[in-house]
Each structure stands twice: as C-alpha cells, then as structure tokens.
Chain A
Amino acid sequence: MSLRRYALRRLAIGLVQVLAVVTVVFLLVQALPGDAAVALAGDNPDPRRIEEIRVAMGLDRPALDRFGSWLWGLAHGDFGVSLFSGRPVAEFLHDGLGPTLVLALLALVLLIPLSVLLGVLAALREGGPLDRVVTTVTVGLHSIPEFALAVVLIAVFGVQLRWLPPTAVGADLLASPAVLVLPLVVLIARPLCSISRLVRAGMIDALASDHVRHALRLGIGVTRVRFAHALPSALAPAVQQVARTVDWLLGGVIVVEAVFVIPGLGTILVDAVAGRDLPVVQGLAVVFAVTTVVVNLVADLVVFRLAPRSVAIA
C-alpha cells in the first residue's frame, strides 16, 4: 500500500474516531447529575428560577436536538458559545492553547535530544558505571508522580531557596522564562525516563545486529555506523512513546497546570466540567481528539520511514 493511501485511510478513520469521542463526551456530560442551570443558580436555588435559566440557555430542548445543532455548527467551523459567559468557545480554546503550546513545544525541544542522548550514551556504555547510574536515576525518577515532584520542587526551589518563582500566577510565560523552569522540569521528568529507556534498548539491539556487524566489516567508521546505521533503527520503538508524550502534553497536563497555576487547556477543561459548560467541554474534546489522531498518524509515518519493513508487512 502506498504511503499516501495509507495516510488518507488513517485520516478517514480518524474523522470517525473524533465523531465517536464527541458523542461519548456529550452522553457522559448528560449523565452527570445537575446541569449548567443548577450550577449557575447558586446555593439554595429556587426550582422555578432554575427552570427559567434552563429555558434561557436552551437546555429545555431535547438532548438529540441540541447535539444535532451543535454538530451542524461544528461542521461550519462554529464551536458554539459558552453557557455561562456567552463568549464563543473558540475564544476559550484560543486563550488556553497559547500557554499549553508554549509548554509543550519547549518540553519537546528539550526532551527529544536529551532522551536520545541519554539512551545512546547508556547503550554505548552498556553495563558500565554510566549505564548503571543512568538506569538507576531514570527508573527512580519514573516512579515519582508529577504532582509529588512538582510540590517537592516548589518547596525546595520556590520556597526554601527562593531561586525560582513557585507558581506562574499572572505572569506572561514568554516574557519571564523563570516561571517556566519548574513546570518544564516536572513535564520532562517522566517522559525523559521512558523514552531514554526505549532508545537504550533499541540501540543495544541495533548495535548487536547483523547489519551493524556487516557495516563495520565493510570498513565504515565506528562513529558513522553508530549514528547513521544503528541509531535510526533504534529510534522506531521510541517514536511511538514520543507520540504518546506529545499527545499528553498537548492535552494540557491538568495536574501541572493546576499546581503551577498556568491558564492552559487543562485548567479550562477543569473549570468547564465543574460548571457543566457543555459547549466548552465538547470544544476541548474535539481539539484533544484531533490532536491525538494527527499526532499518532505523524508518528506512524515517521516509523514507516525508520522501519519500512514492519509497516510494509502489517
């Protein structure tokens, strides 16, 4: 199958997946007790008052009807408006996407070279002291959850030593890079461990492979064999893990955004779910689903380049 046909078919399947995701999200929010009207009416609400708000929001219409008109809008690029503020959902997405993208991109720029470097170094010194130190640290670090690491880092560097701002409240992320340091460290820590482990394992396999031995016998230099022959085939398994990480980062890592008070997509999602603001939740679901589909497709195309045989057979 040609690469283009493969990509088109995957995109078509992706469209179906996105539709399925928004349908499920709609059904789940419907199943939650209470709705936006209850949330808006405040404490000790008057049932008649709730009913009025419901009519005003259009929540009295049948669920299917509301879902249908929302889908119709989506097909025309209209995400709808927030039930609470009446602001277009697109504005919410736009506001949240900025901080999330800044964090995700910076994290990736640091993460990918670092993890490949660590993995390759460990593989080249397999069994040596460096490999053992890297292995111990990465396995240890991988078992610490984000929120725990975040709290410890804030306590040490933000509160005790006062080297770095503990949170990003009100800061412009790009104007004051210091606020980004701790969130980035927390975001990178665990993916760095998992990806470098995969690169290490792939590299060890590749270095022991027949084709590397053959390349050395042909007289090609050791450095060249390591980086131009062994490394590309070692990366294929790591690419899928990078894709999973990208997906996770672009989803706005809720725990990290909450601890460091960063107004990204994750924060918006939490607020919208708490307020039963269905159009915002669904808008976010669409964004997340599309990201997942696209990121995985790109990863598969990269893997196709790195391991043409495996995909050709599949």
Chain B
Amino acid sequence: MTVVRVEGLRAVAGSRTLVDGVSFALSAGRVVALVGASGSGKTTTGLALLGEHGPGVSVSGQITVSGRVGFVPQQPSAALNPVRRLGGVFREIAALHPGDRDSLISTALRRARVPVELLRRYPHELSGGQQQRVVLAQALVGDPAVLVADEPTTGQDPITRAEVVDELAAVVAQGVALVLLTHDLDVVRALADEVVVLRAGQVVEAGSTDDVLTRPRSPYTAALVAAQPRVTVPSAGPPRAPRLETRSLTARHRSTAVLRSVDVQVGAGERLAVVGRSGSGKTTLARCVAGLHPTFEGDVLLDGRPLPRSLRRRSRGQLAAVQYVFQDARASFDAYRTVLDQVSRTAVRLGGVADARALALTELAAVGLDEATVTRRPAALSGGELQRAALVRALLARPDVLVCDEITSGLDTLTQARLLDQLARLTCTLVLISHDLAVVARLADRVAVLHQGDLVEHGAAVDVLGSPTHPVTIGLLGRSLEGTEEKRT
C-alpha cells in the first residue's frame, strides 16, 4: 500500500529554484533515503511532506500522504525544551490525538523503547541516545503512517549511530514508512530500500539502494560514493622525536575527573588522532593542549619545553605555535564582520605579516574560496565553506601544532573529502579529534583511544587500527567497518 506519493514537487524562493521536479513513492514499512550535499533540496523536500516551507518559499506539485506524518529532528538536544519535563510535553502531544492519553503515550514509549521513568526528567538529564529515542517516541504518538528523519546520525559517535539505526529499523519493522534525509551513506546502506540522489534540487538518480550505491549510473553519485572514507589500515612511518607531548595530564570539570593521567606524544609533521565516544574526554584533552582548559595537573610540552597552562600566560609565539579549529565553525566566527577580516586578523596578530589581506586572499583562494565569497559575513557562507575558512585562519599563524576538533562531522561526503585532502597536505603536526575512524584511518600516523577519561590505547595507527585490543576501539572500529553488512533483511 502506497502511503506517500510525491509528484513533480517544485519549491521556489524568489528567483532561486530549491527543488525542481522531485517525484517518489513509498509504501508502508519501506524506507526511502534522500541523499545529497547541503543545499541539494533534501530538507525542503522533507519539510514539504510535513506541509511546511521556509519563509518566502512557494511549493507546487502533488503530495499525497495517507495518514499522519511524524518528524524526527536533526539535533534532539536542541529540539527538546530545556525547561520542560518530558512527561508534560508528551501529555500535550497526546491531547492532540483521539483516544486515551495515557495509553497513547505508553504505546509510543514502548515502540521507541523509552522507559516510563524518563518522563519525570528534564532533557539535560538524558544521554544523547536517550534524547534521540525520546524525539522518536514523540513522533510516534498517535501512530503516524510516515516518519521523516532529518540527518538523524549527524555528529553522533559510531556506537550511538548504530543505536539510532537500530531504533529506526525497529520502527520501520512495525510498518511505518520512513523518509530519511541524510548524507551518511553508511546509514543509507543500513536502512534504505530506495535512494533518491539530489543535486541542486534535481533528481540525479533514483533506484534501489544496491543499484544506486554499488553501480551508480551518474558521475555525481559515483563521486559521492567514492568520496566516502573507508577504514583502511595505513602503513607505519619511521618514529620521530616528539614535538608535542602530554605528561600525566589530569583534568577536571569541577570535582569530576574527565581525564586521568594521560600521556601522549606526537612527532614533528606527524598526525595524531584522538578517538573515543562522546564524553570520553577527547575535546578536553585538545582544550588542555590549546590552553583553553587551564585547570589541569601534569604538563603539556612543546619541543620538550612546558607550555603555560592558560592561554593568557602564553607568549605570542606560543599562541601561534598551537592553533585550534573548532567543531562548530559558524560559532567560531563573529557574525558581524566579514570572513576575510577575521581570517586575515590572525596573520596580522600572530604571523606579523605586512599585507595580511593579500596573503589571506591567496590562501583562501587555494582552498576554493574566492574574494566575492569571503568578503561577505559568515551568515552568507555554508558550513563547509566556513570550516575551510577557519582552517585557513588557523594556518595563517604558521602553527607547529594544529588541533582540529571534529571538524568534518556534519559535512556531506564530498565537502568532507575536500577538507580531508586539505588536511592531508599540511606539513605541521596535526592533532585530530574524531570519532569517525574512517577519517582517522585516512590521515593519522598515531592513534590515541580515550575511554571515560583514561587512555586505553596509544600507538602507531597501523598497530591500533590493525590489531585493536581494547573493547572500545574494537567497538568503534567494528561499527565503522560493518556499515555495509548491517542492512536489514
């Protein structure tokens, strides 16, 4: 039975066409994935199913849905109201549907595997996985025929990501149709029956998942699939003298130790990947190195000399030597100054360059950002563009050590691949914080695995990834490798 039929969907904002002639159909218990880079029109299409469109966007075409449409938002942590207990919100949702409120809620909770006790809690008292299941349960109240899931796995570590896939698969098995908006091809392989590849609002290719992803007909799809990083075990290089080193580094947030006696080393020109699940302390380690988390014990040494713990105590030379690129590129720019202004400022302050503007323009052009783009304010640039600008900004300080904190998460595979190429060309020492082992495998010479604040594995990438010993490494690695085998039967 067909529950969703979309025919000739068009969405126009002013003179720009966001979606141009998208058609697909979906039966109960089946999954269609809309795949494409940011701006390809997949979110516009997904929202059109909800009967929603952005301000100034006009939508035409035919959408028929038999039954209700539920929506699973991208970031559950932002979609849940921090001030409201979960139970109150569930009761409000249940009141919108016919039938007994309590039984509607308990059915939805059971289907999404949310324990009833959680209803008394506030969203911040839940883990990331629990928040994800809660928004799923909210969408399931009143038994929708279709769920639209917007990037449900973006920014999640591989283990949580696999949990999300399992949850969604379980709901689909209950007979709900699922429209998946994503750029995560592993998730598409694991869940989707059919794939619609979108580019600039047009359907590039559509068909069964196997056909499209293993035998792509269009060059764009082929590039999208090829750009996806795979875990391949790198070869070992010769050992080098450590440029950056931490010695028994213990860091706390208030009284909770988030890092316990961590020793890592990375040589000049080497790339160290720090991996672990969310909350394992990897970002704190990076922040200690960069002087952003000054309350730690132990030492951070650069070329054998200890760095002052706080950023404020570091000299300009020391500041320039260790640079940081943040996960949220947009938040790391001032919204009211042009990108070029902010990028060239580093060159003036830390690089001591005379013509900083020209230098910044050259380096930005080298990563594909032209003058017309970078003389705008950050709001006019995409996430991927801002992340490249942030990288250039850090590199203009000519750092000895560059710390990159999850800088590829949330980017589509093509944009991500371009950023990884850029990182691969760097000659400085790189500290890469990531939970994506495919990215790590592509770049890292050395790998450090953190688990709940302890360093559980540390060594050459070939050893750690080739013969992992700790269950967490095996778990992270297994989930990355198994992506293809996880497809539901």
Contact = CB atoms under 8 A, between A and B. Distances in A.
Q: Do the two shown chains form a genuine complex with each other?
A: yes
A247 B93 CA distance: 40
A209 interface: yes
Nearest to A314: B254
Contacts of B71: 214, 217-218
Contact of B81 (A211, A217, A219, A305): A211
Contact of A233 (B81, B89, B135, B139): B81
B100 interface: no
Contacts of B107: none
B83 interface: yes
Contacts of A209: 78
B306 interface: no
B61 interface: no
Contacts of B82: 211, 233, 307-309
B117 interface: no
Contacts of A214: 71, 73, 79-80, 135
B441 to A, nearest CB: 33
Interface stretch (A137-145, A224-232, A260-268, A280-288): A224-232
Q: Which of B50, B79, B80, B93 has the most CB of A within 10 A?
A: B79
Given A217-B50, A232-B83, A308 B122 contact: yes
Contacts of B80: 211, 214
A220 interface: yes
A229 B82 CA distance: 9
Contacts of B139: 218
Given A217-B50, A228-B92, A211 B79 contact: yes
A215 B96 contact: no
Contacts of B73: 210, 214, 217
A309 B93 contact: no
B124 interface: yes
B75 interface: yes
Given A210-B75, A211-B79, A312 B92 contact: no
A220 B84 contact: no
B92 A309 contact: no
Contact of B78 (A211, A220, A232, A305): A211
A205 B80 CA distance: 15
B421 interface: no
Interface string B76-99: 001111111000010011001000
Q: Which of A217, A229, A305, A306 has the most CB of B within 10 A?
A: A217
B473 interface: no
Contacts of A211: 78-82
B211 interface: no
Contacts of B123: 309
Nearest to B71: A217
The DSSP consensus for interface residues of chain A is: helix
B292 to A, nearest CB: 16
B43 interface: no
Interface in A270-314: 305-309, 312
B138 interface: yes
Contacts of A210: 73, 75, 78-79
Given A209-B78, A217-B71, A312-B124, A306 B83 contact: yes
Contact of B83 (A220, A224, A308): A308
A246 to B, nearest CB: 22
A309 B122 CA distance: 9
Interface residues of A, number: 22
A214 B138 CA distance: 10
B52 interface: yes
A211 B79 CA distance: 4
A71 to B, nearest CB: 34
B61 to A, nearest CB: 21
A108 B139 CA distance: 42
Contact of A309 (B50, B96, B124, B138): B124
B144 to A, nearest CB: 11
Contacts of A212: 81
A99 to B, nearest CB: 37
A220 B122 CA distance: 19
A307 B83 contact: yes
Contact of B93 (A218, A232, A233, A312): A218
Contacts of B92: 220, 224, 228
B83 A233 contact: yes
Q: Which of B82, B124, B139 has the most CB of A within 10 A?
A: B82
Interface string B96-129: 1000000000000000000000000011100000
A219 B135 CA distance: 14
Nearest to A215: B81
Interface in A178-230: 209-215, 217-220, 224, 228-229
Interface in A28-80: none
Given A232-B83, A233-B82, A219 B96 contact: yes
A219 B93 contact: yes
A224 B75 CA distance: 23
B124 A229 contact: no
A215 B124 contact: no
A308 B73 CA distance: 22
Nearest to B93: A218
Contacts of A219: 93, 96
A229 B123 CA distance: 13
Nearest to B81: A211
A305 B83 CA distance: 7
Nearest to A216: B52
Interface in B109-159: 122-124, 135, 138-139
A186 to B, nearest CB: 34
Interface string B475-488: 00000000000000
A213 B139 CA distance: 14
A232 B122 CA distance: 14
B20 to A, nearest CB: 25
A48 B88 CA distance: 76
A210 to B, nearest CB: 4
Given A210-B75, A215-B89, A220-B93, A229 B81 contact: yes
B84 A232 contact: yes
A212 B83 CA distance: 12
Contacts of A215: 81, 89
Nearest to B52: A217
A229 B83 CA distance: 8
A306 B122 CA distance: 11
14 contacts: A210-B79, A211-B82, A214-B80, A217-B52, A218-B71, A218-B93, A218-B96, A219-B93, A229-B83, A233-B81, A307-B82, A307-B83, A308-B82, A308-B83
3 smallest beta-carbon distances between A and B, as pairs: A214-B79, A210-B78, A232-B83
Given A211-B78, A217-B71, A218-B138, 16 more contacts: A210-B78, A211-B80, A211-B81, A214-B79, A215-B81, A219-B96, A220-B93, A224-B92, A228-B92, A229-B81, A232-B83, A233-B81, A305-B83, A306-B83, A308-B83, A308-B124
